[in-house]
Amino acid sequence: MDRLVDRPRIIENLLADETPVTVLNAPAGMGKSCILQLLARHFATDVTFSTAAPEPTGASAPVLWDIPPYGTPAPIPDGFLAGQGRLIIAKRPDVVLPGLSRALAYRHARVIDTEALLMSPDELRPLFGDPRAEAILADTAGWPLAVFNDNLFSPDDATMSTFLQSEMLETMPEADLVDLRILLDGGTARAFEDHGLLPFARPDGNGALRFGMPSITQALDEALHLSIAARIKTAAGAKAIAEAFAERGRTVDAIETFQNAGFFDNALRLFEKAGGNFFIYFHGPKAFENVLAGFPRTYAMQSEELVLSHALQALKQGDVSRARRLLADRYGDSANDLGMIFSARSVFSREFRAFRLLMLLYEDYFFSEELLDRAYALMAEFPIDDHLFRGSFYNSVLEFYIRNRRFAEAEDVAQRAMYHYRQAGSPMLAFYISLHQALIRLLMGDALTARKHAALSSASLNAMGFESPNDRRLQVLLDACVEYEGGKAEPLARFLSLEIDDFSHGEIWPSLLEFALHYGSQALGEHFSTIAARSFLDRWRVYQASNGQFQTMISIREAAVLQNANRWQEAAEHLTALKSRVDRSFVLAGGDELVRLHERDELALALIWLRQIVYEMPGREDLDGLITTMIGNLHMTDRQRMAAEIWLAHVSKRQRNLTKARAVLQKTFGDCARLGTIAPLAEERVFLQELIDNQRIGGFLATSSPIRQIIRKLRDAGRLASDTGNRSELSRRESKILLMISEGAANKFVANTLGLSEATVKFHLGNVYRKLGCRNRQEAISSARALGLVS
């Protein structure tokens, strides 16, 4: 410092105490030397700056000894311990002073530590005044060097970083360096009595320490990075740093420390202890990626745990082919031979078989009952308290039950998986189960219960201690679809505009893909265009080019889009091109074969063919019986059943059986009101519009308040025409947007003016074009002017 700053409180304390030896024991920058200089000025004496110890002088003034930071000091002279005068010493904590321990034991010495040397508010106020003194204290924690040398803290000046590294961190124990790293990262360190973290840390009142010097954050961060990097260059230093990280719960840092030091066996042991291929569910995808990248490929291929983890990473990234290649590289082609893997004489470990079972989920593999039995037998090989395996087992077979529309069993295994995942303490895995439960309910048409599960999945997502962007997108999609079921299409339109590309390159399992395909294509077809819906499906066809099961699912959904656009001939040609035993003839044959269908794609194909037949020949004599037979299939979802009931009502009307049409629709609308959904009705608007427009049917339905509310929701959402059949009737917001674009406003300007996103503006414009029967902006403006909607 340029000048001595008076420290009256400390000086008074030193002068009042009669202990023979007083030691100011604190790191650099605490003002130890300045205090000795103040005492020297007070007594008109000198300070000894040497490793050699000064001898008693016999004078009344204390002897002042400033021990240099480097070198080994001489022992405390016996004369001081024998009462021949007082000695005041300044030293750093890492300097070992011979004789001090004995002097402390005999109470001939006392130590004033770092905390006592920090500047207090009472010392700062006379120097700086209020409120600046409080601000300085908050920035510097009262560290004298920081208080009086703020010019050292310029971001472009490396002086402070160098000083911190060489003068303070170089001799700090590894455990303290780790604690300091945690403090800088916003965490807390244990407030044990003998720590070396002052002046950087301050107690938080709860038995812990927090970082207390914002003014040097950048410089300290750089210095700490260099100090830790230097320590891990030695085996002992790396081990000490890694073990300190592990002890404090920073498993990822501990593993990466061992990896950076080249101690891969140590890193692998920690990785396995932290969950192995379940590591991602406790530490997040980013940490999982970083840790796996830290193992050399040749080393990783020798470890089953690492190979399975790399394969899981590939699955999470939507790359099933890469996962298969990784397994084949490690185990040979038999790694993808399910007969060998799950045979009674399998040579594969139970861990590999468990992982391979989970992988079937991503491959959309059709489980036979025999394979399911073998899978359940695998459960006996794992301990009853192995919650991660048991939860993952139930998670794997959950997809089998969903695909086969065995929803009661799916709900049961989902609850079992949830129990085990909660026991394992993984919010991320619990999130996936709540997500599955919501998907099941949406597939069934039960939007109210789906909303409850969506709230639980959101709570689990928020309980994760890390970021998982793709899972966050899954939650956004789920919430948007729940809203879509209730008549609000904007959130789903926004997701499809802004998030779908990132989402489609992430983790995809069959029920999730079915869910995304259905809602995405329906929303785009209803509110934008058939071209938009087919382009959406084509992108998924490319993304899932290697998966034949997914291709069938996409093709079925495309046929529905074509039917909804009244392109029935093209839809029929599209369906005919599909190679399946379920074709037009199969459906027209009816009988028990229709009732027995249970596999997801075959059931969906039968329904889409039946829909085609209803449109083409509604007057066919046995068609109502054919639909009734289909409705009797116990594997259909409530959502699919609602659609079939609308077809039945349509056929009944065409066959002049209005009583039956009214009764069927009354039940269907009642179910929709009970389940809180309108989306299944909206998709059947091609049939439903004609039914609602019939006064003897529509008027009858309107006598029920719940049904009247459902019809109003459909019309408000633009999914049915108005009562008068005027399809150009616009909502208030659509009218406002139409007026603004007719005045030359761009979408961005409209969005900013109305407080909407551009995706929402595009969504409303799509509704405007559809209602006005137009294809683009200019046509819509011309039509609106012709109709007198704008001037």
Looking at the structure, tell me whether residues 323 and 391 fall in a common domain.
Answer: yes
Q: Nearest-CA neighbor of 770 among 738, 744, 723? A: 738
3-state class percentages of the chain: helix first, strand second, coil last, to nearest 5? 65, 5, 30
Angstrom distances, CA of residue 710 to CA of 84, 182, 269, 680, 707: 100, 56, 59, 12, 5
pLDDT above 90: percentage of residues in the chain: 46
Locus of tokens 């300007």: 749
In the structure encoding, which two tokens stand for residue 145, read together? 């060097």
Looking at the structure, tell me whether residues 88 and 179 fall in a common domain.
Answer: no
In the structure encoding, which two tokens stand for residue 609, read together? 């063919």
Q: Nearest-CA neighbor of 432 among 453, 407, 410? A: 453
d(Cα 604, Cα 609) in Å, to the nearest integer?
A: 9
DSSP 278: G
Neighbouring residues of 788: CB distance < 8 A, sequence distance ≥ 6: none
d(Cα 72, Cα 54) in Å, to the nearest integer?
A: 15
In a domain, 567, yes or no: no
Own/partner long-range contacts of 195-199 (Cβ < 8 Å, ≥24 apart): 196/27, 196/93, 196/172, 198/26, 198/27, 198/113, 198/114, 198/115, 198/118, 199/27, 199/29, 199/30, 199/114, 199/118, 199/141, 199/142, 199/143, 199/146
* pLDDT tens-place string over residues 189-220: 877 666 778 788 887 777 788 888 888 888 89
Average pLDDT over the chain, rounded to an integer: 88
Residue 709 is part of which domain span?
580-716
Looking at the structure, tell me whether residues 295 and 313 fall in a common domain.
Answer: no
CA angle 541, 545, 548 (to 5 degrees): 95
In a domain, 569, yes or no: no
In a domain, 132, yes or no: no
Confidence (pLDDT) at 4: 80
Neighbouring residues of 718: CB distance < 8 A, sequence distance ≥ 6: 526, 527, 731, 767, 770, 771
Domain closes at, from 485, 519, 542: 542
d(Cα 129, Cα 147) in Å, to the nearest integer?
A: 14
Q: Provide mean pLDDT across the span 488-509.
A: 81
* pLDDT tens-place string over residues 472-490: 999 999 999 999 888 888 8
- The answer to whether 677 and 485 are in contact (CB under 8 A) is yes
DSSP 167: I
Write the CATH number for 528: 1.25.40
Looking at the structure, tell me whether residues 75 and 214 fall in a common domain.
Answer: no
In a domain, 559, yes or no: no
d(Cα 491, Cα 454) in Å, to the nearest integer?
A: 15
- The answer to whether 67 and 51 are in contact (CB under 8 A) is yes
How sure is the predictor about 727, in pLDDT bands with cuts at 50, 70 and 90?
very low
In a domain, 137, yes or no: no
pLDDT of 116 higher than 50: yes
Looking at the structure, tell me whether residues 512 and 366 fall in a common domain.
Answer: yes
In a domain, 656, yes or no: yes
d(Cα 245, Cα 257) in Å, to the nearest integer?
A: 9
* pLDDT tens-place string over residues 297-317: 999 999 999 999 999 999 888
Looking at the structure, tell me whether residues 645 and 507 fall in a common domain.
Answer: no
Per the structure, the count of domains in the chain is: 5
- Exposed / middle / buried, residue 502 (Cβ in 10 Å: 0-12, 13-18, 19+): exposed
Confidence (pLDDT) at 547: 59
pLDDT of 726 higher than 50: no
In the structure encoding, which two tokens stand for residue 586, read together? 């199969």
Neighbouring residues of 438: CB distance < 8 A, sequence distance ≥ 6: 450, 451, 453, 454, 457, 478, 482
In a domain, 144, yes or no: no
Confidence (pLDDT) at 182: 93
pLDDT of 439 higher than 70: yes
- Cα 552 to chain centroid, rounded: 31
Q: Provide mean pLDDT across the span 136-151.
A: 82
Q: What is the sign, positive or negative, of the torsion defined by CA atoms of 265, 270, 273, 277?
A: negative
- The answer to whether 783 and 741 are in contact (CB under 8 A) is no
Domain closes at, from 303, 338, 370: 303
Looking at the structure, tell me whether residues 385 and 254 fall in a common domain.
Answer: no
Predicted TM-score (pTM) of the model is: 0.75
- The answer to whether 656 and 608 are in contact (CB under 8 A) is no
- Which residues face 23 on adjacent strands? 89, 111
Looking at the structure, tell me whether residues 313 and 374 fall in a common domain.
Answer: yes
In the structure encoding, which two tokens stand for residue 189, read together? 């360190």
Helix (H, G, I), strand (E, B) or coil at 202: strand
* pLDDT tens-place string over residues 540-591: 887 766 555 678 889 999 999 999 888 888 999 999 999 899 999 999 998 8
How sure is the predictor about 20, in pLDDT bands with cuts at 50, 70 and 90?
very high
pLDDT of 725 higher than 50: no
Confidence (pLDDT) at 573: 92
Confidence (pLDDT) at 1: 40
Domain closes at, from 716, 740, 755: 716
Write the CATH number for 765: 1.10.10.10
- The answer to whether 90 and 41 are in contact (CB under 8 A) is no
How sure is the predictor about 365, in pLDDT bands with cuts at 50, 70 and 90?
confident
pLDDT of 364 higher than 60: yes
Looking at the structure, tell me whether residues 330 and 464 fall in a common domain.
Answer: yes
DSSP 165: I
Looking at the structure, tell me whether residues 435 and 334 fall in a common domain.
Answer: yes
Written as one letter, the residue type at 156 is D
Angstrom distances, CA of residue 785 to CA of 6, 74, 116: 84, 100, 82
Where helices occur in 44-150 by DSSP H, the ranges are 78-81, 100-105, 114-117, 121-128, 132-140, 144-148
pLDDT of 157 higher than 70: no
Mean pLDDT is highest, among 61-75, 498-512, 590-604, for 61-75
* pLDDT tens-place string over residues 591-636: 888 999 988 889 999 999 999 999 988 888 889 999 999 999 988 8
d(Cα 397, Cα 417) in Å, to the nearest integer?
A: 10
Strand ordering across the sheet containing 189-190? 189-190, 208-211, 201-203
Q: Provide mean pLDDT across the span 143-151.
A: 79
* pLDDT tens-place string over residues 246-268: 999 999 999 999 999 999 999 99
In a domain, 738, yes or no: yes
d(Cα 360, Cα 325) in Å, to the nearest integer?
A: 15
Looking at the structure, tell me whether residues 319 and 293 fall in a common domain.
Answer: no
DSSP 334: G
Helix (H, G, I), strand (E, B) or coil at 38: helix
Q: Provide mean pLDDT across the span 225-235.
A: 92
d(Cα 577, Cα 592) in Å, to the nearest integer?
A: 25
Looking at the structure, tell me whether residues 202 and 87 fall in a common domain.
Answer: no
- The answer to whether 494 and 763 are in contact (CB under 8 A) is yes
